[in-house]
Amino acid sequence: MNDSQKIIIAIDGFSGCGKSTTAKEVAKALNYIYIDTGAMYRAVTLYFYRHKVDTRNTTAIQMALQNIEIRFEYEAATQKNITILNEEVVEDEIRQMYISERVSAVSALPEVREAMVAQQRQMGINKGIVMDGRDIGTNVFPNAELKIFMQAQVQVRAVRRQKELQAKGQEVDLQEIADNLSQRDHLDSTRTENPLRQAEDAHVIDTTQLTIEQQSQKIIQLAVTLQNV
Ligand code: DC
């Protein structure tokens, strides 16, 4: 495959639908780069939390953003893309509940979105990427060749998220997880700046009854068809 055939795959949807896991599988199968934009907003949230950035103060936000450098690194041992914030590995820390509880508010700030979206567009300049988030198909790459919108019942999403956290040794109450997912769905889809919404030309995938393997295969098949056009 030559580079000119590579496309941009935008995967948006509600929290906990399996977007990241699916996106990683798709990227691996197509030999594309995977970019987790949620991790970027989580890393900003961690920085703001640690540095007690006053989110009502535009100047403070802008100054803080200038001190934030986020990048991803492939870790061969775990075969995972890990998030690095100012040279510190924060991959596990940004998945903690205290970040999940604060990230929707931070990601709704216009200055934060502007800075992250600019970086995301830069990352997609050579195509060959799978990017997952909330506004990828609608705002970051409105011309993406393939757009996916994922949804699933909240209780099913909560059970999956609880298992993920348990695998990392974190015991969190199921209702607490379900409440956090519902609250983030609400905040993410009602904010003023680039809210979560389905792009008109997106393929909708309901993952309630699907395995990661099934949802990944659907996307890979769509991508392969488009790559060969
Ligand atoms: O995908 P995630 O659950 O890790 O994302 C964390 C939060 O970041 C999510 O609740 C909303 C925000 N987000 C966003 O506003 N825009 C994106 N493109 C990705 C995530």
Q: Output 76 or 175, whichever has higher pLDDT.
A: 175
Provide the CATH number for the domain around residue 107: 3.40.50.300
Which tens digits make up the pLDDT trace of 175-221?
Answer: 999 999 999 999 999 999 999 999 999 999 999 999 999 999 999 99
Q: Is 151 a domain residue? A: yes
Question: What integer pLDDT is reported at residue 52 of this predicted model?
Answer: 98
Measured from the CA of 187, which atom of ligand 1 is nearest? 10
Measured from the CA of 120, which atom of ligand 1 is nearest? 18
Q: Is 2 a domain residue? A: no
Q: Is the pLDDT of residue 78 over 70?
A: yes
The tally of domains found in the chain comes to 1
Q: What is the mean pLDDT of residues 82-102?
A: 96
* Spatial separation of the C-alpha atoms in residues 214 and 229, rounded to whole Å: 23
Q: 194 in ligand 1 pocket by Cβ < 6 Å?
A: no
Which tens digits make up the pLDDT trace of 132-161?
Answer: 999 999 999 999 999 999 999 999 999 999
Q: Is 154 a domain residue? A: yes
Q: Is 1 a domain residue? A: no
Q: Is the pLDDT of residue 3 over 50?
A: no
Burial 142-151 (b: 16+ CB within 10 A, else e): eebbbbbbbb
Q: 191 in ligand 1 pocket by Cβ < 6 Å?
A: no
CA 107 – ligand 1 centroid, Å: 7
Q: Is the pLDDT of residue 64 over 90?
A: yes
What does pTM read for this prediction?
0.93
Q: Is 200 a domain residue? A: yes
Which tens digits make up the pLDDT trace of 9-51?
Answer: 999 999 989 999 999 999 999 999 999 999 999 999 999 999 9
What is the length of the chain?
229
Question: What integer pLDDT is reported at residue 25 of this predicted model?
Answer: 95
CA 228 – ligand 1 centroid, Å: 31
Q: Is 180 a domain residue? A: yes
Boundaries of domain holding 195:
7-227
pLDDT category, 227, cuts 50, 70, 90? confident
SS (H, E, C) 20-67: HHHHHHHHHHHCCEEEEHHHHHHHHHHHHHHCCCCCCCHHHHHHHHHC
Closest CA to 157 of 178, 184, 134, 183: 178
Question: What integer pLDDT is reported at residue 168 of this predicted model?
Answer: 87
* Spatial separation of the C-alpha atoms in residues 32 and 39, rounded to whole Å: 18
Q: Is 46 a domain residue? A: yes
User: Which token pair is 64?
Assistant: 């803080």
Q: Is 149 a domain residue? A: yes
Nearest residue (CA) to ligand 1, atom 8: 38
